[in-house]
A and B are shown apart, each in its own frame.
Chain A
Amino acid sequence: MGLVLLAIIWLITFFSTYFFAAKTWWLPHGAAKAASFIDHQFALTYILMGIVFVAAQGALGWLVWKYRDGASNGPVDYSHGNTTMELMWTTLTAVLFIGLNLMGSHVWASERFAPAAAGAVPVEVTGMQFAWYFRYPGADAKYGRTDPKLMDPSAGNEAALGLDTADAAGKDDVITGTMYIPVNREVDLTLRAVDVIHSFFVPSFRFKQDAVPGLAIHMHFTPTEIGDYEIACAELCGLGHYKMHGMVHVVSQEDFDKWLAAREAEKQ
């Protein structure tokens, strides 16, 4: 049975490690500024944890086989432990875990502690069962007032968000069901939810943030590649959670300006 255990534990270790190392399934292609650092930190963590994983499972399999009853080993080592070794592996683990943690903290800080840079593109994202809406404040750079009493999800866009047409700031607000943003410019995001919690997850941007009713959460990120990227809701929000899907189109500054101008024109 010792040999069987050794074989099973080692085989499980081998297959698990193989698929991690072969990158058969991996993080989606990164297309935002934060991606390269996050991916680097992920790779570092996975190499270190991978080494610990292989070493621990390898040792477990080997030890139970080597010290099986009936093998020609010496007598059992009557020992209650070894304080030096305890201290050694406690320190090593503490340094490894806490060190790893500190290394990642500056990226977390840069996206959250400081506000978006001046000149960032403002976009407000609103989640509701089961759709995403995107609002651009227009030339006045101000979002118009919305009124919960005016919200009519079945009518979509302006009506879904309950945009108050009496507010002058809202006259030039553009509201769409698909997100357009210019490449290589920071996006100044305001996240809202009207009913329950949703989570704005764009895997390619390494971006995820819950949208919470009652809160306006500010985040910023910078897309770095032109292309179309999928948005998936990542917080259970009700029966349509799995289809609360959206698209982000990252386009050139020129195309973005054209697109926004066309939407403004439609409004008039």
Chain B
Amino acid sequence: MVAQDAHAHAAPQGFIRKYIFSLDHKVIGIQYILLALTAVFVGMFLSLLMRIHMIWPTAVLPLVGEIKPETYLSLLTMHGTIMVFFVLTTAPQGGFGNYFLPIQIGAPDMAFPVLNMLSFWTTFVAFVVMLAAFFVTGGAPLHGWTGYAPLSALQSAGPGEQLGADLWITSIAIFCIASLMGALNFITTTLDLRAKGMTMMRMPLTVWAWFITAILGLLAFGVLLSAGILLLLDRNLGTSFYVPLVVVNGQVMGHKGGSPLLWQHLFWFFGHPEVYIAILPGMGVASQLLSTFARKPIFGYKAMVYAIMAIGILGFVVWGHHMFMSGMSPYSAFAFSIMTMAIGVPSAIKTFNWLGTIYKSRVRFHTPMLYAIGFVSLFVSGGLSGPFLAQPVLDIPLHDTAFVVAHFHLIMGVAAIFGMFAATYYWFPKMFGRMMNERWGRIHFVLTLIGTYSIFMPMHYLGMAAQPRRYSQFTEVAYLSNLMPLNRFITYAAFITIGAQFIFVINLFWSMFKGPKASDNPWEATTLEWTTATPPPHDNFGGHTPVVYHGPYEYGVPGAPKDYVMQTDPAGVAAH
């Protein structure tokens, strides 16, 4: 808690300094959110093309024409990469974290505002480089978002593996640099800029989640950056980090002695923590909202904090569970498998505590709460397929099938997106001073919940019936033709779900200008962002620094004048 005055900077004048190259964490947060919103629509459009191709392989589509098998793989690669990096990593942490972490701890801005701006614009450059891969000769790469070498390391291994693949890995490397800058900023801000009285154990669970996520990012993105540079060297300078002696289509390549498994180890050392980078902020938001709208303290605050920490630590020792079938030593599978099962324990603790929070509460069904409840439901559904995949013996039939696709989409895709929707509906009034439309919010929620379940639940059945993932066609393997009806159903469900997202976008932009004016604390919540003006002034608290007296979730306090006690309220709450 160093002197905060040093970090104060005068409100900028002029459009460019205020809205484009802004140092204000709130503007930067919105920039991240808009970037992610653009990216999510690109990623969603790509997935729709994939689903269309699966069931109408010869269809000629507007904009893209006929989809060839290699086009399908490019769509798949870019869908995964864009969603993981530019949506799931960008919006929950860079977007909402940037905007609300400083306010929730009572700071006037991030610790390093210039670094914050650089971090956003570096991410932006990474996104442009990524999109550029579509437009170069050969098109976007076809090696999947995991980019397994040697496929990703050899220019002759397929279309898209020339310049497209170089742009792909360059973009990821740039993204890593941006994320490292962001992570440093989040960690420093949380440790140093908390207001008086804001002890670590009084921080909202959202702040805990962003803080631990930043630590994961700091440790994981550095490894991916190094791995990516090695891949670039293999691709362009003839080194052999990942490539042994190989023969592609009768041509002996110049590499020898490299290890394809090295890439997998480095990639998943990043890739598994990345799952938690995507989901932890959603867990924080769900906890915050369940307590707020249930009008009851969060059940087991300390257990929640320890669970986030445990997930963060265990998240770094489970990466091998992606590699049970890779040729890695079968002995190590035991260790990775036990660790993976162990990480299910803190995840289960969180679920129990969310249910415990609702028990004997008074649930208010505003749209953000609906999404928080949806998050819990999806987290349970996506989580429970984990213990299947974590057992090496069950991974034999299920690895690289649609079952895995169902698992990670439910948990790190849809659940994380529900966390973002919850955050959007919840904080929109604070960010834009207006309320979003509740009726359309509810319709959007119902359609999206049913729609996403209809897409991803059947994928479990496909995986059990041994449909491999990343197949553009089901015509070449006889048993797959029996699964076509289910694949058709999924595509229809995708159409409806994607259609429903336009309701959200219209609601978002319409409410920004036409929604009813919001009060400073429309949800009667207790954390610091609800004590300041709407939208918050440039320095967040209009010249004064808040002082914190309570934990973040004082709802339903017996004897208090209202059913909630603000964190800044000097009046007492019984000691706990």
Contacts and interface: CB of A to CB of B under 8 A. Distances in A.
Interface of A: 1-2, 4-5, 8-9, 12, 15-16, 19-20, 24-28, 34, 37-38, 41-42, 45-46, 49, 52-53, 56-57, 59-60, 63-64, 67-69, 73-82, 85-86, 89-90, 93-94, 97-98, 100-101, 104-105, 107-109, 112-113, 128-129, 148-149, 151-154, 162, 194-197, 199, 201, 203, 206-210, 212-215, 217, 230, 232-243, 245
A77 B558 CA distance: 9
Contacts of B486: 25
Contacts of B576: 80
Nearest to B482: A25
A197 B556 contact: no
A209 B325 contact: yes
Interface string B289-307: 0000011111111110000
Nearest to B323: A210
Interface in B64-88: 68-70, 73
Contacts of A149: 252
Contact of A212 (B302, B326, B399): B326
A240 B377 contact: no
Contacts of B348: 89-90, 93
Nearest to A68: B363
B446 A94 contact: no
B521 interface: no
Contact of A230 (B333, B460, B477): B477
B314 interface: no
A228 B563 CA distance: 69
B464 A63 contact: no
B337 A101 contact: yes
Interface string B447-464: 001100100011011101
Nearest to A11: B450
A209 B345 CA distance: 29
Contacts of A26: 464-465
Most buried by A among B327, B462, B478: B327
Given A210-B327, A214-B259, A241-B470, A195 B246 contact: yes
Contact of A68 (B297, B365, B401, B446): B365
Contact of B345 (A5, A81, A94): A94
Most buried by B among A4, A149, A196: A196
B360 A153 contact: no
B122 to A, nearest CB: 29
Query: 9 tightest CB-CB pairs across the interface, nearest first?
Result: A214-B244, A76-B556, A81-B300, A203-B466, A25-B461, A77-B360, A112-B330, A1-B365, A243-B476
B45 interface: no
Nearest to B252: A148
Contacts of B151: 196-197, 236-238
A253 to B, nearest CB: 26
Interface stretch (B5-13, B96-104, B387-395, B421-429): B387-395
A236 B143 contact: yes
A105 B394 contact: no
Contact of A232 (B297, B302, B327, B466): B466
A41 B468 contact: no
Contact of B157 (A52, A195, A232): A195
A76 B360 contact: yes
B557 interface: yes
Contacts of A148: 245, 247, 252
B363 to A, nearest CB: 5
Interface stretch (B127-135, B220-228, B350-358, B528-536): B350-358
Interface string B230-268: 000000000000011111111010000111110000000
Contact of B393 (A104, A129, A236, A242): A104
18 contacts: A8-B449, A12-B377, A12-B449, A28-B466, A49-B387, A56-B380, A76-B295, A81-B302, A90-B345, A97-B342, A97-B344, A201-B466, A208-B396, A235-B148, A238-B151, A241-B73, A242-B470, A245-B477
B490 interface: no
A196 B154 contact: yes
Contacts of B359: 63, 67, 77
B157 A238 contact: yes
B515 interface: no
B341 interface: yes
Contacts of B353: 81, 86
A77 B361 contact: yes
Nearest to B462: A25
B453 A12 contact: yes
A188 to B, nearest CB: 16
A215 B400 CA distance: 20
B180 interface: no
